């Protein structure tokens, strides 16, 4: 066997890259929803007296606290979620570049899309891989 990967290996690796990108997108969507929920709760608690009793779920345990204790922790969580979202977006951009480079390197064509790096004036041999 030569050092060149076969068509099946190329397709499998391409699908792996696409699945990894999909997982990042799914995780980002989950965190966006969670951050939205945290934002709503934080905005609601800002309009409540600081000494008022409230309940917070911590690690599956419901705890009783005052708004003045919960609000700063909640705002820290919102900031942390924003940082995680930023990191995931960077990872998605890197993964998208990896996928594009892999498509161009192996001349992968997806049904219904133009070939990666398509240049109408430059014709190459038809040895690409078609992924459905």
Parse the chain into domains and list their residue ranges.
Answer: 7-131
Of the candidate ranges 63-77, 81-95, 101-115, the one whose mean pLDDT is the lowest: 101-115
Would you state the pLDDT for residue 119? 58
Rg of the chain (C-alpha set): 24
Of the pLDDT bands very low, low, confident and very high (cuts 50, 70, 90), residue 6 is: confident
Q: Which among 56, 83, 81 is positioned nearest to 68, based on CA atoms?
A: 56
Which residues are within 8 A (CB) of 14 and not within 5 positions of it... i.e. 6 or more apart?
A: 99, 102, 103, 106, 108, 129, 131
3-state secondary structure of 63: strand
The token duo for 80 is 């942390």
Query: Across residues 54-68, what is the average pLDDT?
Result: 94
Q: Mean of the pLDDT values across residues 42-47?
A: 96
- The CATH class of the 7-131 domain is mainly alpha
pTM metric for this prediction: 0.77
Residue 90 class from Cβ within 10 Å (0-12 exposed, 13-18 middle, 19+ buried)? exposed
* pLDDT-derived band at 129, boundaries 50, 70, 90: low
């Amino acid at each position: 066997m030569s050092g060149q990967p076969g068509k099946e290996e190329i397709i499998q690796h391409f699908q792996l890259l696409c699945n990894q990108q999909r997982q990042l997108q799914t995780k980002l969507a989950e965190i966006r929803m969670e951050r939205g929920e945290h934002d709503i709760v934080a905005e609601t608690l800002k309009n409540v007296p600081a000494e008022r009793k409230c309940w917070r779920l911590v690690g599956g345990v419901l705890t009783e606290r005052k708004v003045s204790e919960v609000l700063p922790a909640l705002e820290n969580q919102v900031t942390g979620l924003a940082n995680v979202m930023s990191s995931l977006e960077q990872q998605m951009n890197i993964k998208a570049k990896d996928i594009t480079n892999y498509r161009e390197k192996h001349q992968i064509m997806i049904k219904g899309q133009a070939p990666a790096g398509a240049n109408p004036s430059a014709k190459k041999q038809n040895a690409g891989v078609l992924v459905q």
